[in-house]
Amino acid sequence: MNKLISFLSLSLLFSFSSINLAHDLAAAIQSEDRNPKNVLRDKYRNPGETLTFFQIKPNMRVVELSPGGGWYTEILANYLHDPGVLIAAHFDKNSEREYFKNSRARFEKKIVENPMYDNVYIVNLSSNLAEEESVDAVITFRNLHNWLGPQMDAIFSNSFKALKPGGIFGVVEHRAESGTSIDDMKKSGYVTEEYAIKAAEKHGFTLVAKSEINANPKDTKDHPRGVWTLPPSLRLKDIDRDKYIEIGESDRMTLLFKKL
């Protein structure tokens, strides 16, 4: 089945997802299909607790915004089953930026080569994502800092339109100190809760819960290369490497919104 489809075709394909792997979230997280390097990050990213907090169920139609290399995709593809579907909204296929095109191509290769991803369909991040009011949840992990400004408005607006009434919008993001300026957010990769909440509310979402699942009190958020100083990026390479490994991954907000 060709998985590289436009959002206009999604409604015709929802009923043809037939993957039959682990309906249980714990089993999906423990699956041997996951990249061992990704499994090492579980202690920082808490996928079981996070997806449970986001109320993700195996029969849902879910959009994952900007999945990158597919860290969460590996879990979600195993967990979601017919009629559940995962729509991966990745970098635009025809982007002029080489990094975006290469990242999209690597993700497509990953999806095509393993039958575990037969219920995963790829759309452009700049697209409408899915037909209006056709999905149960839209979730995103550590991406807001890349979208600050008009792009965030467009993505949040399209997410709201794609969700059914009562649908879930789940956000995990590196958390800046309150009062951090937009310029500093862009430089550091950390975003304030206030900014994230206002951006979501601007497009019609209602904040229903916050969680400290992904909090890290060791993170001082004043690193030379911003959030990328910490694992897994470790932009300073061997400089103070042990120090940053000891801190671990960033302090993160975990926010649950709904389309009420």
CATH number at residue 12: 3.40.50.150
Give pLDDT tens digits along the chain (260 positions).
Answer: 444 444 434 443 433 333 445 679 999 999 999 999 999 999 999 999 999 999 999 999 999 999 999 999 999 999 999 899 999 999 999 999 999 999 999 999 999 999 999 999 999 999 999 999 999 999 999 999 999 999 999 999 999 999 999 999 999 999 999 999 999 999 999 999 999 999 999 999 999 999 999 999 999 999 999 999 999 999 999 999 999 999 999 999 999 999 99
Domain interval for residue 69: 7-217+251-258
> Cβ(62)–Cβ(86) under 8 Å?
yes
> Cβ(188)–Cβ(226) under 8 Å?
yes
The pLDDT assigned to 11 comes to: 42
Q: Is 224 part of a structural domain of the chain?
A: no
Report helix, strand or coil for 243: helix
Q: Is 162 part of a structural domain of the chain?
A: yes
The pLDDT assigned to 10 comes to: 44
Cα 169 to Cα 16, 205, 245: the distances in Å are 25, 8, 31
Q: Is 210 part of a structural domain of the chain?
A: yes
Closest CA to 222 of 173, 183, 184, 172: 184
Beta carbons within 8 Å of 2's beta carbon, 6+ residues apart: none
The pLDDT assigned to 195 comes to: 98
- Rounded CA gap, 169 and 155, in Å? 12
The pLDDT assigned to 22 comes to: 60
> Cβ(52)–Cβ(151) under 8 Å?
no
Q: Is 161 part of a structural domain of the chain?
A: yes
The pLDDT assigned to 5 comes to: 42
Instruction: Tell me how many domains the chain contains.
Output: 1
- Rounded CA gap, 188 and 224, in Å? 9
- Rounded CA gap, 167 and 178, in Å? 28
Q: Is 243 part of a structural domain of the chain?
A: no
Q: Is 116 part of a structural domain of the chain?
A: yes
Q: Is 233 part of a structural domain of the chain?
A: no
How many CB atoms lie under 10 A from the CB of residue 176?
25
The pLDDT assigned to 212 comes to: 98
